[in-house]
Amino acid sequence: MDASTPKAVAKAVGAIVEKAAADVAEKLSGGEPPVVPGAPGSETPSLEEPTEPREPLPPKPEQGSPERRTATGEGTDVPPTHVGPRGAYLTTSQGVRLPDTDHSLKAGERGPTLLQDHHLREKITHFDHERIPERVVHARGAGAHGVFVGYGNATPICRAGFLREGVETPVFVRFSTVLGSRGSADTVRDTRGFATKFYTDEGTFDLVGNNIPVFFIQDGIKFPDVIHAGKPHPDREIPQAQSAHDTFWDFVSLHTEAQAHTMWNMSDRGIPRSYRMMEGFGVHTFRLVDDEGATSLVKFHWKPRLGVHSLTWEEAQLLGGIDPDFHRRDLYDAIEAGARPQWELGIQVFDDTPEQTFAGIDLLDPTKFVPEELAPVHAIGLLTLTHTPTNFFAESEQVAFHVGHLVPGIDVTDDPLLQARLFSYLDTQLTRLGGPNFDQIPINRPHAPVNDMRRDGFHQDGVHGGVAPYKPNSMDGGCPFFAGSAEGGYVDAPVPVAASSKVRAAPASYRDHISQARLFWRSMTPTEQEHIVLAYSFELARCFEQAVRERQLQALAAIDAGLCARVATSLGLPVPEAPAALLEALGGQQEEVAASAALSQLGAEWPVEGRQIGIVVDVHGGEDALAAAVEVREAVAAAGLVPLIVAEHGGVLDNGLTVQRTFGVVRSIEVDAVVLLGTPAPAPDAVPARDAKAGGGAGTRLDPRVELLLEEAYRHAKPIGAWGAGEGALDGLGMAGAPGVVAGEGATDVLGEVVTLLGRHRVWERFAPALG
């Protein structure tokens, strides 16, 4: 896979890519999913409590479960849905039917509860132990099932079977934030986890990465330090899920190798629009091994087919209160609506030389990335998320990832952060999941035969036969036997280890903490740079120690003088000089760097499947307005988007459309664009004493909540469309004629232009940046 011929490689795999996508789509198109997601159950409940015994309801169409396999990886004919509750009657955990679960056993109606109440004891005891320790990091997350299809173009450099052309591999993917607890919000400014479990027939492979290709630290021994600094202050346990506080900025301003990651976090990458629109990176450099034993170094990338997009800072703040589950809801609603998220797995390929460097970049330094202009990303497979969990705890909460879960053809390198992770991930499961048999939990069970000679321990589900769990043995006929490379065994790449002395030190190539942060800053468009200035200004303004602010400004001065000056002005502090110590690794001066266009999120067009459009309907606008609402809704759905009908009241309108949002509950952060049908007057509930949002408004004829919806969408650079009476409303709000505000007589033309604008995610030209 020659990095010098990306066009030839792209052409060679183009047909494979389209075939993989088409095959996945065909297999998943068995039924028409609901256009508007959010149904809570697989059947509509009755108004009265049901009394006729029946089996549990089936799962919803979009839900999936782990394949039902034995504890040793053998497939069974038990459907995955049959591992949940069975039977029509309430029972104890031992299957004994119960007549009552509302009253404990007492000595008379008003007497004391009896100790002999075995049902009470069992029920309360289990409840008391329902919680398990949350993850130290990545506690807040959401998972989904899917399938990965290999393109086959990686086989010249990697023997892993799941990468061969057309091979389909079940996967489970978990997205997460790093710092917050399980109960924190999705839309905080933070790094996101992107962990993928491949259930290959050669064993389980876990690709455990982030949405940022660099990390805060170069050596795993510093991991407790950076997490302790980023977590809430131990004296007050605040702030939750934020880096905007003193201890974090105290650490990163002193431990300056964190500056590159911090720059990414302060960019729009720190607040993704959706998990579906989030890039993923393996962070470390890995080693691939081909059939002949030759090796290459690679970096893994996940490229979302919808593009990489972000929230605005104001949207993120609003969502923290209005919908802290926004990313989780967005992911599951998209799958339910049939807009199944897809990513291509790609690799950057490097020669495996003794220096393990490329273009002057140390490939073992996890605080460095390689610009795509220097080493193109080659797509090698397609990931499609197809089903949501049937039970969140059993699947997303109990899934256990480990960077040491490798398959033949994929090996690790000497990256000191990766080396520490190889210990840490396994170690943490022992406490969190109750012992060494966590790999027997259904979501973690391999899809390959397991014969590991391990016995007993907490939660042992396997019933092991034989008498000789040791090697060598003759008592069990010598089984299990060793497997070499020819039999599919995992053989560690025989990489030479240089003669050296034991030291606690880092190589000279690790000393440059600034150039990659500068590369990222210089690669941003003026609009994106404005957002970075805002992020640093907000975060440092939340710090109370003046020394911490000034020290971080010194680091910014070494990265870019203009960035430092703007942040310093916001903080009301003088602009410092760049410290000589930070510039020392750069030869004592701020060198110019070549920008990387691949780092910017702006400038391209992307598919719009699954984007939500709010259709504001005037229920008193007459038959023509109601008919137009039906036409627009159908057109939106036909374009692969999700229509949300917004009206003054809930229920079903006279035209048969179901209202998804009322004026009282809708906010712009729920939709990617707004179209206005008519001029809905203030509704009966638009009373400030009842709804504070009704207290604003520009004095137009519109309901003030609709005005707020339009004003927020306008501020957040979202496309807005209107026709007929709606044009006058936009004019009254001062929006008419602005970039991305589309008006006209025909619904089809207006809607078409709105959808085209959505392909660019935002209409940033609406606001001219001060930078540039």
Q: What is the four-CA torsion angle of 347, 349, 355, 360, rounded to 10 degrees?
A: -90
Query: Locate tokens 């048999």: which residue?
Result: 437
Q: How far is CA 451 from CA 464, 483, 768, in A?
A: 10, 12, 63
Give the span between the Cα atoms of 317 and 68, in whole angstroms: 41
Q: Supply 606's token pair.
A: 């992307």
Q: What is the DSSP string of 242-257?
A: ---SHHHHHHHHHSGG
CA proximity to 211, closest of 197, 196, 225, 221: 196
Helices first, then strands: H and E counts in the chain: 18, 19
Per-residue three-class SS string for 17-59 = HHHHHHHHHHHCCCCCCCCCCCCCCCCCCCCCCCCCCCCCCCC
Give the span between the Cα atoms of 760 and 601, in whole angstroms: 10
| DSSP state, residue 281 | E
The β-bridge relationship of strands 612-617 and 673-677 is parallel
| DSSP state, residue 395 | I
Q: In one letter, which amino acid is 766? A: R
Query: Locate tokens 């996101």: which residue?
Result: 192
The reply to whether 211 belongs to the active site is: no
Q: Supply 158's token pair.
A: 């990697």
Q: In one letter, which amino acid is 312? A: T
3-class state of residue 535 by DSSP: helix
- For 526, the enclosing helix (H) or strand (E) is helix 526-541
By the 8 A CB rule, do 570 and 537 touch? yes
| DSSP state, residue 735 | -
315 φ, ψ to 5°?
Answer: -60, -45
List beta partners, residue 209.
194
The maximal CA–CA distance of the chain, rounded, in angstroms, is: 90
Which of 210, 211, 265, 444 is catalytic? The answer is 210
Query: Locate tokens 């990414």: which residue?
Result: 264
| DSSP state, residue 201 | B
59-86 in b/e form (b: 16+ CB < 10 A) is bbbbbbbbbbbbbbbeeeeeebeebeee
CA 494 to chain CA centroid, nearest Å: 35
By the 8 A CB rule, do 413 and 300 touch? no
The reply to whether 444 belongs to the active site is: no
Within 13 Å of residue 257, how many CA atoms lie on the same side as its CB? 19
Active site residues: 138, 210
